Every structure is written in structure tokens, then in C-alpha cells.
Chain A
């Protein structure tokens, strides 16, 4: 039996709203003891946290890799290494690989490859339609059985309402979660920015923010009709948040995620055409960013994701409109999110909840909490430590980080997955 005790920590458990001194005992990869207050725990191996924060490991539900199909961008290994350094203990791989994750064999393949690395928990989101074509329903039942956590076509919007309605209805037989990007495909076509004065001045084609609201209204109407469990993937506008809040008020089972980038940046950041800020959905006005932060504070948003999207230099060294969208984010997720605590005044537990307990509850994982019986997926971090992001030093194969050169606060000191220390600063 392997025993490990982490003592003298500042225990942060969003699941039980506890923020205070404590210690954790780990045996054979599972949390077997939690002490709140001055530690008396002893075990085979004792780690003295010296007052550092000990929280559940982060769960990132939107991670793209290049494996299989585009390994030069990112592999499961490079993404997993990146995750360990970022304090992310569970990553959910998106189905937009080549071939797409649209059958149980692919789900199984990625899970096995991920598990063989012995780094972090590698889980999978399955495609909602075959080859993500938006037309033919994928094998949701078999993929669900194989371990897929939710179903999405990623950045491909399922435009055909009848197809989406059938997918939602069918998925409800398995109580499976369906996720959709709310973006009207016609209004968003070819857009690289949010319509408005700035996009006009920069000469960039923009999509109006209502493109998100329109699609979300449709999606939620279908949710209401089918009774599906639904995740709004990467909500980014105030108007959409209002729609979401109204739907919740009507008792719909709808969750939402937001990318860390939309909580940290606004459209002004694209001002000098820096392609690391070319994102999808595009960056929004400051009023939207403020509304998103409030939604995190109020718990309207269940999950903050890194929206990790590796894009190699050849895809980013282009004119803004021609550059591949997306940013890597696994390693910067925690310090960037801690900015909400340092700069926006959010309680530390309110910042950690959508990174741990929120996504765990959404996806039915028993991680994301520090309680006896939960897997020992934990991180030790110093919330105030200054860091300067150096994209060249990132473990990810692609270095497209919009935080490059930024000064952030918060450093991961240790990452523990299933009781094993997989990263130490």
C-alpha cells in the first residue's frame, strides 16, 4: 500500500465550500482521510505544504490535440505533459481529430493511449454526427458505453434543426450530455472578429454578437422539446447569458462553459492584428467580458475551459484573417483564472469551482472534490507567486499562447494524479 500525506496546507474544496487549514491522506491513489484544522496526519510519506493551497486537480473539458491526424500540432503526450504543468488532472479530448472520434473504437483508442502515458486522466468527447458532418447521427450509445463523457461536433455547428433535435432526443435515452457551440452558421460565416466599430476600423469581417444568441435560442428550444441534457459550449456574450439565465429560470437542465480567454481578453486585444488573439468565438467587447465574469461569480457558468487549441507557427504566421483560430491554454489556465481572484475580487473557491467540482458534476466524474473516497487528483499551488509567461517554454508542441509575455500570479508547485506525483515545480 502506498501512503502519502499532504499536511499544513490551505485546503480549498469548492464541493464543500471549505477554505481553511487542513491535511489529506492518500492511500493507493484514493483520498482516505481529510483533516480540517491543524494537521496530525502521518503516513508513509509526508509532504509539508507550508501553507500552500491544496485543491482538487483542474478538469478541463475542452482540449484539442493533433492526435490522431495532426501530431506535429500536439500529441496526447505533449498535451498531457502540458496539463501536468498546468495543474490539470483530467483532460477531455475533443472529437475533431482526423479521423473524427465518431465511433467506440476511436473513443477506446484515445483513452488507452492516454492511460498508457501514466500522466493525467485522458477522457474523450465523442462526435455528435458521423465525421462531424452535421447530417448523420454518430453512435452515441456505443461511444457512451465506451466512456465518452459528452457529445459535440466541436466548432462545427449542427445547422439542421431536425438533425440536432433527433440527436438530442436519441441521446436522452442514455442520459448523455450534448454540447453545441452557439453560433448561427450563416451570420458567423467568414467572420474573424465581433462586428462593431473596432472590426470595421481594422477592416476585419465580423459576426454580430446576436449570432450567438440566435443559435442559443434555437438550441434551447430543442432542449425544451426533447428533454436533453445540454451544455452551451463556450458562451461568450452578455445577450446569450441572458437567454441562458431565462432558460434556467424555466427549469431547463442547461449548463454552460466559457473559455478562459474570453474571461481575460477583450476585442481591444486584437488591435495590433496579433494572431494569437485570433480566436473562435472571436474576442468580444469589454461589456461581454464583464458579464461573463459575473456569470462565473454567480454560478451561471459551470465550467471554465482552456479551450486548448494548438496551432503551429505556420498556421499563425499569417495575416490575421487567414490565421488558424485558437490558443493553447493548458499551462496558463490556473494563473489566468487566478487573475479573476486577484484583479476582479472573486473568491478563490468561486474561481476554483468551475475548474473542478463544476465540470466533475456536469460530467458525472467522482473527481473534483477533496473527500474520502474521491480519486487523489490534487494540486498544490502558490496563488500569489508571480509568473511571466514564456510561450517558448511551454510543454505544448504548439506555442500559440495569447498570454505570451504577460505577468500573471499563481504557480503550480505539485500535481498529483491518482496519488502519483506527476509534476513538481
Chain B
């Protein structure tokens, strides 16, 4: 049997239709399905490392990448994922679109729906925008980040990276550090990691941790030394530049001094602790280059690679559901 045929069998074995019509939040997943999705993503990781990466799982499907917010890595990650599965991909430059001319989000949705896409990948600065679109279109919607709400595929790729690094996520203690308040990555990760049995802690200055975060089922810390004690994973978050003008934190140097990850702070975590960051990084603000670039501790590059595989798994699984519905 050829290598390609083995891969095709593996994919067929592991491909489970998506349990919901859309993928809007980490809560759309459940533990057994998540494990199936990770197993499928593992196959794609291996395939992506081969010279011939193309598959035809999504042949004939149209995937629309609709990014109302600037994005480089997520947008290209989805585009590559869809193309590797053989889909027809259109990435809409929304900045130059009718939205600028005053068209509402609903108008855009209705217009796009008329073009009969199969999967709509949406990023928008407003929380709930992906859910709103999903109610107005007849295709599957994948939330690629909506405001401060969720970024579920990021949580999935983080989970994949962790599972490959540690073997099992259950029982891990993961510290999510930094601007929790404005982070959709944090919200999705808290939901998914907790669902999969990890213990999640949140660490950040009080101005960047929501007051009710202790009700998310996480422990909340404002002190890195205290918070990192006993952690296996340190997930740093990007600090948006606009948060640094003295409104929420006084300065980048103070932020780095107390909440930026460097060797000294990393030493407070468990030996062998791994470092993650959804990117793009502010070096010297939330993370020191010395830590970020050290491949013995940093999973940051892995996360980018796992992003493509995890999104391939999501698109394939949604497509399988569409097959079933057809």
C-alpha cells in the first residue's frame, strides 16, 4: 500500500463529522470529539511535512475567508489549510469592500450567502459577530476571532501543540498570563483546556484580569512568582499597544518587569515547563527573546505549524457534516 493510501485510510478512519453546524466557540466541542479532531490533525501534521501536501477532501467546496480585522497569520493559516484540502478559497479584502461604504454586516452576509459558499471563516472586531453571521447564512461559519469573545481554532491548535509536547493534557497546570481582559485566546483556552482536564490559572495585573475571572473555574493571580509555581505551561498573551498608554498599565518597562516572561520568571514554573504565545509577539514587553527563541522551552513555532493542521481538521470535519446533510 502506498504512503498516500495509508494517509487516506487514516484520514477516513479518523474523520468525524462536526457535531454542530458552525464552529463559533470552544464550547461547540466536547471531549471525545475534541480527541478525534486532534487525532485527525495529527495525520495532517505528518502530511504537511511531506513534499506533496495536497489532498482532495474539500474538492469542489468554496471557503470564504472574511477578515474584517487585520490578520496575517490566522488568515494565511486558514487559507493554506483550505487549499491543502483542495478547496476553492477566496480571501476577501474587507478593508476595501462595501463595508467601508456603509454596508452593514448583515447586508454583507446576505450578499455573500447568495454566492453559495460552503464554509465562511470570519474574523471581526465585534464580539458575537460570527454568531450573528451564522444566523444569516446557509453555510458553515468558523469563528476566526470575534472581538474579546472567542478564538476557538487557536485554542484547538494550542491543545494540539500541548498534546504533542506532553502526550496528555489532563493533569497539566497551564498559566495564561497577561491581558486576559481583552483576550479571546484566553477565553477559548480556558474553556477548552478545562474541558480536557487541565488546570488553568490566570495571571496578570488587576486592570487586565476581569473582576469575575475567578468564576471561570480558574485560579487568579496577580503575582507571577506565586502564579507560576507548579505550572507546566506558561502561555503568554499579546499586550495590545493601546493598553500601554498609561490607561491600564503604566508603561512597557513596568509591565515587562512584573509580568513579562524572562528566564528568571520561567524558573518559578516547574522544571521542563513549556512556553506558548499566540503571536504576534511584543518582544521585551510580554516575553523576552531569550525565552521565545529557545526551542528547548518554546512551543511558539510549533503552534504556527499546528495551526494549519488543526484548521485542516476543522474544515474537513465541517465538510464531512455538510456531506451528511447533503
Contacts and interface: CB of A to CB of B under 8 A. Distances in A.
Interface stretch (B17-25, B231-239, B251-259): B251-259
Given A172-B222, A173-B222, A173-B223, A138 B206 contact: no
B245 interface: yes
A137 B211 CA distance: 19
A36 to B, nearest CB: 41
Interface stretch (A71-79, A128-136, A319-327, A403-411): A128-136
Given A129-B246, A172-B222, A173-B223, A139 B205 contact: no
B257 A137 contact: no
A170 B211 CA distance: 12
B247 A170 contact: no
A135 B247 CA distance: 7
A169 B250 contact: no
B247 A166 contact: yes
A142 B223 CA distance: 14
B295 to A, nearest CB: 31
B249 A137 contact: yes
Interface string A146-175: 000000000000000001001001101100
A163 B207 CA distance: 11
Contact of B250 (A137, A145, A225): A137
Contacts of B246: 129-130, 135-138
Contact of A173 (B206, B245, B247, B253): B206
A141 B258 CA distance: 8
A136 B257 contact: no
A147 to B, nearest CB: 15
A299 B64 CA distance: 69
Interface string B287-324: 00000000000000000000000000000000000000
Interface in A111-137: 129-130, 135-137
A173 B250 CA distance: 13
Contacts of A172: 206, 222
Contact of A140 (B245, B248, B250): B250
Given A129-B246, A172-B222, A173-B223, A141 B206 contact: no
Q: How large is the interface on A (under 10, 10 to 19, 20 to 34, 35 or more residues)?
A: 10 to 19
A107 to B, nearest CB: 13
Interface string B204-240: 0111000100000000001100000000000000000
A136 B223 CA distance: 22
Nearest to A166: B207
B244 to A, nearest CB: 10
Given A130-B246, A173-B222, A173-B223, A139 B206 contact: no
Residue among A130, A135, A166 with the most chain B CB within 10 A?
Answer: A166
A137 B258 contact: no
Nearest to A136: B246
A42 interface: no
B215 to A, nearest CB: 16
B245 A136 contact: yes
Nearest to B223: A173
B82 to A, nearest CB: 42
A205 interface: no
B222 A141 contact: no
A57 B169 CA distance: 59
B250 A130 contact: yes
B205 A170 contact: yes
4 cross-chain pairs, A with B, having the tightest CB-CB distances, nearest first: A136-B246, A173-B222, A169-B206, A139-B250
Interface of B: 205-207, 211, 222-223, 245-251, 253-254, 257-258
Given A130-B246, A130-B250, A142-B253, 9 more contacts: A136-B246, A138-B250, A139-B250, A141-B257, A142-B254, A145-B257, A170-B249, A173-B206, A173-B258
14 contacts: A137-B247, A137-B250, A141-B254, A141-B258, A142-B253, A166-B247, A169-B206, A169-B207, A170-B248, A170-B249, A172-B222, A173-B205, A173-B223, A173-B258
Interface of A: 129-130, 135-142, 145, 163, 166, 169-170, 172-173, 225-226
